[in-house]
Amino acid sequence: MTAVRAEGGNAEAVQANLATDAGTLLSRLLSPPSREDSTFWWQMPASEKGAPSKITMKRFRTDSLEQRSNMENTIQQKNKNLVLEAFDTLFNKRDYAKAETFWSPHYIQHSAHIEPGREGLFNLIRSIPATLKYEPGVIVADGDFVMLHGRFSGMGLPVNWIAADILRIENGILVEHWDVIQDEASEEQSKSKAPMFGASFPVYSKA
C-alpha cells in the first residue's frame, strides 16, 4: 500500500512529471520495500513553472501485518489450549494443586451456581461425586477471551448440564468467568430433534 504526498512546485508540474516518468515511478513502487526502511524519497525533475517537486513515498510493510496476525493467532491458540488443560485438570483429574497454577487466586466468578473466587469453584468440585466427567466441544478465542461449549455429566443430578463457559485470561492464567447453563434434553424432550451436544442424545434413567 502506498501513500503519495507532493511538496513544493505546483499541481500542473507534478502531473506533467508523473506522466513523463510514470514508468520509473511504477517500477519504484512495485519493488520490494527494504526491511530496514519502508520510506523513500523520489526527486521530480524540474519543470518550467516551478521548482523541483519532492514526493514522499510511504509503503506499509504487509509482512509486518502478517506477522502480527500470526502472533495473534498463536496467542489465541495458546489461550484455548490453556482452558482445555485447566478444565481437564480440575474437572476430570481432580488435581487441585496443579489447578492452582491455572486459576488466579483473585479469580472473579460471575456464575450464579458457584460461590466467589477460586476456592468457591474448587469447593464445588470437591462436593460433586467422583463420577463427574467434563467433555469439551466447540471452542473459540478472541483476544484475552475464550468461550468453550461442553458437557458436564455424572454430577449426581437427574440430567447432564450443557454449558457455555466464557473465561478471561491475563498473564497466562484464568482471571474471570461467566457461564450459561442448560439441562441437556433427551430426544423426547427436544423440539429441534438435534442433540444439544455431540452427535447423540443422552439416555436418562426413568426411575
* Whether the model pTM is above 0.75: no
How far is residue 58's CA from residue 45's CA, in Å, rounded to a whole number? 20
Residue 70's pLDDT is 73
| Inter-residue contact 148 to 142 (CB < 8 Å) | no
Residue 66's pLDDT is 72
Q: Nearest CA to 89 among 120, 57, 122, 61?
A: 122
pLDDT bracket for residue 166 (50, 70, 90): very high
| Cell numbers given for 5 | 504526498
Write down the mean pLDDT value for the chain: 81
Over 60: is that where the pLDDT of 74 sits?
Answer: yes
Report the amino acid identity of residue 118: R
Q: Quick one: 97 and 156 in the same domain? A: yes
Q: Quick one: 50 and 82 in the same domain? A: no
| Inter-residue contact 151 to 144 (CB < 8 Å) | no
Q: Quick one: 34 and 84 in the same domain? A: no
Over 70: is that where the pLDDT of 97 sits?
Answer: yes
Residue 165 lies in a domain: yes
Residue 174 lies in a domain: yes
Residue 61's pLDDT is 54
- Domain ranges, residue 83: 69-183
Q: Quick one: 79 and 130 in the same domain? A: yes
pLDDT bracket for residue 176 (50, 70, 90): very high
Over 80: is that where the pLDDT of 106 sits?
Answer: yes
| Cell numbers given for 71 | 502472533
| Inter-residue contact 53 to 41 (CB < 8 Å) | no
pLDDT, one tens digit per residue, over 187-200 is: 999 999 999 999 99
DSSP 8-state code for residue 198: T
Helix (H, G, I), strand (E, B) or coil at 131: coil
CATH code, domain carrying 138: 3.10.450.50
Q: What is the DSSP string of 69-124?
A: HHHHHHHHHHHHHHHHHHHIIIIIS--HHHHTTTEEEEEEE--TTS-SHHHHHHHH
pLDDT, one tens digit per residue, over 15-54 is: 555 555 555 555 555 555 544 444 444 444 554 455 555 5
57-82 mean pLDDT:
74
How far is residue 18's CA from residue 195's CA, in Å, rounded to a whole number? 65
How far is residue 5's CA from residue 159's CA, in Å, rounded to a whole number? 68
User: Domain total for the chain?
Assistant: 2
Q: Quick one: 73 and 174 in the same domain? A: yes
Number of H helices, E strands in the chain: 5, 8
Percent of the chain scored above 90 by pLDDT?
63
